[in-house]
Amino acid sequence: MFSDLQKANFYLNWFAFSKVPLIWSCRPKLLALDNNAVEIKIPLKHKTKNHLNSMYFGALAIGADLAGGFLAMHKAKLRSKPVSLAFKAVDAQFLKRPEADVHFHCRDGNIIDEMLEETIATGQRVNQAVTIIATCPSLNGDEPMAEFTLTLSLKCRS
């Protein structure tokens, strides 16, 4: 009836609306989700742009947070394990002004798998950096607009 991507988008919208309304206000959409990667789009609209008509810093941070966080939440859910997820640090490089819809790519599924295995086995919090690349495909193809390194922190709850 519904594809896995449609179900994931429904979950994303429910989570954003009920848990973090600021995310919901950016209207993110999952474009791709598999075992290794996620692609999330945030549209450039009135609520997400700045005075220069490019995507606002806060909206870019939300997209990076979602790309790294959603992939980890998805993988934990597939393992049927309750996992506490947070970000401990962020490093961002803003390379060009994103003047269109922004796509956020995280391809660190293998790193997240290793983190989940370790926290499930030990019960200890595990911290590891994940990389998120922001692009504007409609204007600049695959050229990065921004690069984020977020320290993802996971702990299996019992």
Q: Residue 13's pLDDT is what?
A: 95
Q: How many Cα atoms sit within 13 Å of 149 on the Cβ side?
A: 5
Alpha-carbon gap, residue 132 to 148, rounded angstroms: 5
Average pLDDT of the residues in 22-40? 96
Residues 85-111 have pLDDT tens digits of 999 999 999 999 999 999 999 999 999
Alpha-carbon gap, residue 38 to 72, rounded angstroms: 10
Residues 38-48 have pLDDT tens digits of 999 999 999 99
At residue 10, does pLDDT exceed 80? Answer: yes
Task: Decide if 36 contacts 105 (C-beta within 8 A).
Answer: no
Tell me what the pLDDT averaged over the chain comes to: 96
Average pLDDT of the residues in 20-48? 97
Helical packing angle, 57-78 and 4-19, nearest 10°: 120
3-state DSSP call for residue 48? coil
Residues 78-87 have pLDDT tens digits of 999 899 999 9
Q: How many Cα atoms sit within 13 Å of 111 on the Cβ side?
A: 19
Those residues whose C-beta lies under 8 Å from the C-beta of residue 53, and which sit 6 or more positions away, are 99
Q: Residue 158's pLDDT is what?
A: 73
Q: Residue 105's pLDDT is what?
A: 98
Domains parsed from the chain with CATH numbers: 4-156 (3.10.129.10)
Residues 121-150 have pLDDT tens digits of 999 999 999 999 999 999 999 999 999 999
Alpha-carbon gap, residue 152 to 112, rounded angstroms: 9
Average pLDDT of the residues in 52-59? 96
Tell me which residue of 50, 148, 40, 65 sits closest to 98, measured CA to CA.
50
Q: Residue 124's pLDDT is what?
A: 96
Q: Which amino acid is at 54?
A: S
Q: Interior CA angle at 28 toward 34 and 88, to 5°?
A: 75
